[in-house]
Amino acid sequence: MSENGNLPGNPRTTKPPWAILGILVVIGLLTLWPNPRQAPLSAATPFLCLPCGPSGASDLLRNIVLFIPLGIALGMRGIRLGPAILISLAVTSVVELLQYAVIPGRDATMADIVANTLGGLIGAWLGRRGIGFLFLRPRAAAYVTVGWATLGVLAIGLMGWTLQVSLPRGTWYGQWAPFGDEPEWFTGDVIEVTLGHRRLPHWRLADSETRRKELAQDTIRLSAKVVSMLPPPDGLNIVALADSSQRLVGLSQGERDLGFTLRTKAALIAMHTPYFVSHDVMPPLAGDTLVVEGTYWKGHAAINGELLEVSALDGWSLVLPVAVGSALAVLVTIAWLFALFAPIGWYGGQVPSSAWAAGPVLVLLADGVMMARLGGTPYPASWEVAIATLAALAGRVAVAAMEPDRRGD
């Protein structure tokens, strides 16, 4: 303790809590933005679900991470864990109440309250430690390096496993636009739809199990001959294969972009499945006849001939609903690789042997290549390997540049 009773390196400040206010604004923007199109789905989501929905595990992880910065800011101001938990609980309760009573199309669930409060607790613990968790003694740094690399290997392995298609048994349905009176469907004409090598009917499939076995042995290809509509500002479904509870394979249009989605093994653990988008595929005017097509096989996707791939190093796609092929996906991939590899360089650099930084990095990269080899998934792109190596090097250089008396030697 310091003389004024506060934690060393973590003094209570009398300055206005601008960081906390800024974080609260960001939380509000991310959680209270209305989404009227999702209102029917939100209304059907039970409050006490855990996890909630087909990608509930992804939502839980995102909600935990969302409140970690708030907890860190509270902890760095000297607020103890108990009050920090209560503040996080109060903030998330207000958010969920507004989502339930005021904001259309947002889910209000107990799972969000639990995840947000847990994120605040984790952040407050880190914040009260100040920079102590960044600088460790050599033995502790070695443990953290190996532990982080182990988590990275598991994350890469999980990603490689989830890239495989998972089409459940049951009764399947072909859905063509327009489908009933649902507003999220394409308003152009759909002339013909093909799934695999056979036509997809507009309703229940009489041979769902036979079709499932066929698709399990082949590349999944969904193709439709359509007459275009004016480019819609929001995403609209064109055609889909579905069962009684979920959409399994689908093509959609947003503005002039063509999207392609399908159910993979990520759905078995309530994570997000990949969503691919190809830009400027659809005509700018209504009335044009064209064929739209999406194909997929273990991380390899093609939309009207444009190849889009997801490798075992793209684990962010299990958590974030960002379309592969978008500009945002590149930025998210870079951020993900830095989060995965930079800590290895940082903590490995605090051990008196460079192997502690280089060794785990090589293990992670080798694991990504191995997962591609064994699972039939794409090899990591060369730029991804370069970014991963750069991230580890940046962590190593950054910790070496810090003052020796702050390394915990």
As a whole number of angstroms, the distance between CA 114 and CA 348 comes to 34
302: enclosing H helix or E strand = strand 300-303
Reduced to 3 states, what is the DSSP secondary structure of residue 385? Answer: helix
Angle in degrees, CA 199, 303, 177, rounded to 5: 50
As a whole number of angstroms, the distance between CA 342 and CA 398 comes to 10
Q: What is the pTM of this model?
A: 0.84
Q: HEC states along 153-179?
A: HHHHHHHHHHCCECCCCCCCEEEECCC
CA 328 to chain centre: 12
CA 378 to chain centre: 19
Cα separation of the two ends of the chain: 21
Reduced to 3 states, what is the DSSP secondary structure of residue 225? Answer: strand
As a whole number of angstroms, the distance between CA 72 and CA 123 comes to 4
As a whole number of angstroms, the distance between CA 12 and CA 4 comes to 9
Is the Cβ–Cβ distance between 117 and 89 less than 8 Å? yes
The pLDDT value recorded for residue 376 is 81
The pLDDT value recorded for residue 304 is 94
Reduced to 3 states, what is the DSSP secondary structure of residue 37? Answer: helix
Q: What would the two tokens of residue 406 be?
A: 């702050």
Closest CA to 113 of 100, 87, 101, 95: 95
219, amino acid identity = T
The pLDDT value recorded for residue 3 is 41
Is the Cβ–Cβ distance between 297 and 196 less than 8 Å? no
Q: Where are the alpha helices (DSSP H) in 77-137?
A: 81-101, 110-128
As a whole number of angstroms, the distance between CA 219 and CA 106 comes to 36
As a whole number of angstroms, the distance between CA 248 and CA 238 comes to 14
State phi, psi for 290 to the nearest 5 degrees: -155, 165
As a whole number of angstroms, the distance between CA 196 and CA 214 comes to 8
The pLDDT value recorded for residue 306 is 94
DSSP string for residues in 226-292: EE--SPPSS-EEEEEEE-SS-EEEEEEEETTEEEEEE-BGGGGGT-PPPEEEETT-S-SSTT-EEEE
Is the Cβ–Cβ distance between 211 and 172 less than 8 Å? yes
Which residues of the chain are under the pLDDT cut of 70? 1-16, 36-45, 105, 179-183, 354-357, 403-409
